[in-house]
Structure 1
Amino acid sequence: MPYLVQVILLTLAAGLAMPAGALIARFEHIQSDWLEQELRHSVVAFGAGTLLSAVALVLVPEAIQELSMSSSALYFLMGGFAFMLLDILLQKINTPASQLAAMLTDFVPESIALGAAFAYGSSSALLLALLIALQNLPEGFNAYREMRVSKHLSSKMIILMFGLMALLGPLSGVAGYLWLAQSPLTIAALMMFAAGGILYSIFQDIAPQVPLQKHWAPPMGALLGFLIGVLGSMALSH
């Protein structure tokens, strides 16, 4: 099967995990309150685990092969600060779509990176596709529950919206495959930017240990701690 077709199919499948997660959330009604709460926390924890694995196993290792230590630090911090500013903005306008915004802001750059990875034959392309799908499922679940709280949108409308957003995957993947494959530094920068943003989101919006309202410093501390490990690993490898 041609690589371009694989990119389209894999990114579409990964994107369709978003409405699939919303469908699970729509029909998630369990008689036992304790079991229902347990399921919700398990889905959140699963999402955090897959996001972290995408950062640790694919995005950062692939990016640091192309970037210098200073560039890695710069793009990683830019991603974290960008997601932090988005978080602050969403807080100020009091929107119920922070999970939706987080889902899209990591799905698009990851899809671009996936397309480029196929173009230059990276062995991590299939792994990245799997991780994107696995993280989109719980993110779709959480985003649906968050948006339904406001009652402004019906269940069908939210699921349809998520289905349409899944098309951003193939568009981004094809763009990465056709136009960015010859720019490995650009792809590496996107990967590092996405890694910083994802790690910020894990500790600010997902990890149950740091759910502080209107406080954004703790997740940035976690991001810096991870960055020290990345830079130390790069220093030792050189």
Structure 2
Amino acid sequence: MAELQIIILFSLLSGSTVFLGGLLSYYFGDHVKSGLIKAEIIHSSTAFGGGILMAAVALVLIPEGMQALSIIPMAISFLTGAITFFFIDRYIQRKGGTMAQLLGMLSDFVPESIAMGAVFSQNPQLGILLAIIIGIQNFPEAFNAYFDLKTRYSAKKCLAILFLLSFSGVVSAFAGYYFLSGMPKTIGALMLFSSGGIIYLIFQDIAPLSKMKKNWIPALGACFGFMVGMIGLKMLG
């Protein structure tokens, strides 16, 4: 199979979990009765998604970005991301909604897919493994993102949005493969920009949403999410 076909295949597979996570969230929300157990699952999945995002930042995005850039461009890229997402988050909240999980998912999914496409030309096996890890990350993040979208749109529109976003991995991988293969500093700046935005979203929106009074189970979800990221890093070697 040609290299380009492999990129298309694996970027589609990694992106498909965006729609599948949203689909599971749709059936969960409509067919599971409300109660303490349902609330615990929702809050735990939010924390789990936050843990995965934190792992992506701490173990992949920031280390790769710091390796590519010197101190001043590193700091500028990171702070620009944090400030940009601050304004985006404020704008969305003024409109009466929240998109923290969706923004967090895309901030993780897009730069990692770009990196996946970029490394395919040098190390196809690493690109395939990165695609698998991206797919694993997307599933719980999309599960939570559906609930964010549901505050603003109908179920069908939410699923349609997630279905379309599942193809953003293909577009990002193509961009990385064709335009950024020889530009590690640009990829590093993008990763640090995303890291600043993700950390802002985690502490401003995602972590507070995962908290339940007199219940300590959701916090364990964050630990399990971070552990998934650690396992993924070990798999990358």
Question: TM-score range, shorter-chain basis?
Answer: 0.7 to 0.9
More helix as a share of residues: 2
On the 8 A contact 2:77/2:193 being kept in 1, the answer is: yes
Deviation by residue 1:3-43 (Cα, 9 ceiling, x = unmatched): 43333223222222121111111111434712111111221
On the 8 A contact 2:47/2:210 being kept in 1, the answer is: no
Distance between the aligned counterparts of 2:208 and 2:98, measured in 1? Answer: 18
On the 8 A contact 1:22/1:143 being kept in 2, the answer is: yes
Deviation by residue 1:21-77 (Cα, 9 ceiling, x = unmatched): 111111114347121111112211211111111111111121222211222111111
Q: 1:92 to 1:156 in 2, by over 3 A?
A: closer
Matched, 1:7 2:7: yes
1:106-117 mapped onto 2 (5 Å cutoff): 106-117=108-119
Q: 1:126 to 1:193 in 2, by over 3 A?
A: farther
2:224 aligned residue: none
Residue 2 of structure 1 deviates from its aligned partner by: 4.3
1:145-224 mapped onto 2 (5 Å cutoff): 145-150=147-152, 152-153=153-154, 155-208=155-208
Aligned residues: 209
Deviation by residue 1:91-118 (Cα, 9 ceiling, x = unmatched): 1222454433443344222221221132
1:229 aligned residue: none
CA RMSD between the two structures: 2.5
Q: 1:160 to 1:84 in 2, by over 3 A?
A: same
1:221 aligned residue: none
**Higher RCO, 1 or 2 (CA under 8 Å, sep at least 6)?**
2
2:44 aligned residue: 42
Q: Which region of structure 1 is more displaced relative to structure 2, 4-13 or 86-95?
A: 4-13
Taking structure 2 as the reference length, the TM-score comes to 0.77
Distance between the aligned counterparts of 1:15 and 1:2, measured in 2? Answer: 20
On the 8 A contact 2:100/2:206 being kept in 1, the answer is: no
Distance between the aligned counterparts of 1:76 and 1:210, measured in 2? Answer: 25
1:57-96 mapped onto 2 (5 Å cutoff): 57-96=59-98
Unmatched runs of 5 consecutive residues or more in structure 1: 212-238
Residue 125 of structure 1 deviates from its aligned partner by: 4.1
Identity rate of aligned residues, in percent?
43
On the 8 A contact 2:21/2:143 being kept in 1, the answer is: yes
